[in-house]
Amino acid sequence: MTEKEIKDILVKTEVIQDGHFVLSSGSHADTYMQCAKVLQYPEHAAKLAAEIAAKWEDEEIDLVIGPALGGVVLSYAAAEVLGVRSIFSERKNGEMKIRRGFEIKDGERVLVVEDVVTTGGSVKEVLSLLEEMDIDIVGISSIVDRSGGKADFNHEFKPLLALDIKSYKANKCDLCKEGIPITRPGSKA
């Protein structure tokens, strides 16, 4: 798929909404994203997972790991394409952990998959877990990188799509100045 085809899927499934939004931080933005929305459609999840798998076709991979919750469905779908195991990490009392008896064996080659990278915080927490193990971290993929190139993982990062989302301080918002109606995502209309 081309980047345009990927973006079209994300617009069609309302992952990417253009407009004028108040974010939970209080900032205003021209785009709102809800990546989980595309993963409610298995056929789209499978297509995106196949794109992720294709980015690493020259690498040997034994295992895909995704941080809960965003990375669970996508890492599972990517593992299915690659024909390998899929596990997830999750927060327990605020700390990222690998639980539920999931094991990574010495020498395994591990791909990290996340739905969207904003600051990259969850992925970094997974990486620091993996870096303590005697394994190889192949790299990281996500559907969207909205970090503006700021996510630095010290491992190869291959997102499907990089999105540049403009955000504004509430009192210095160009969209407010233009009088564009504002939406508060998550609140009932």
Give residues in contact with Zn ion (CB under 5 A): 28, 173, 175-176
Q: Which is nearer to Zn ion, 3 or 174 (CB)?
A: 174
Cβ neighbours around 37 below 10 Å, total: 16
Q: Which is nearer to Zn ion, 117 or 173 (CB)?
A: 173
Which residue of the chain is nearest Zn ion when measured via CB? 173
Q: How far is the CB of 83 from Zn ion (least distance, A)?
A: 47
Q: Which is nearer to Zn ion, 16 or 22 (CB)?
A: 22
> Do 10 and 145 meet the contact criterion of CB atoms below 8 Å apart?
no
Q: Which is nearer to Zn ion, 13 or 31 (CB)?
A: 31
- CA 121 to chain centroid: 11
Tokens at residue 125, please?
A: 């927490």
Residue 35 carries which DSSP code? G
Q: How far is the CB of 161 from Zn ion (least distance, A)?
A: 25
Q: How far is the CB of 20 from Zn ion (least distance, A)?
A: 5
Q: How far is the CB of 187 from Zn ion (least distance, A)?
A: 16
Helix axes 42-55, 70-82, angle to 10 degrees: 70
Tokens at residue 119, please?
A: 């600051």
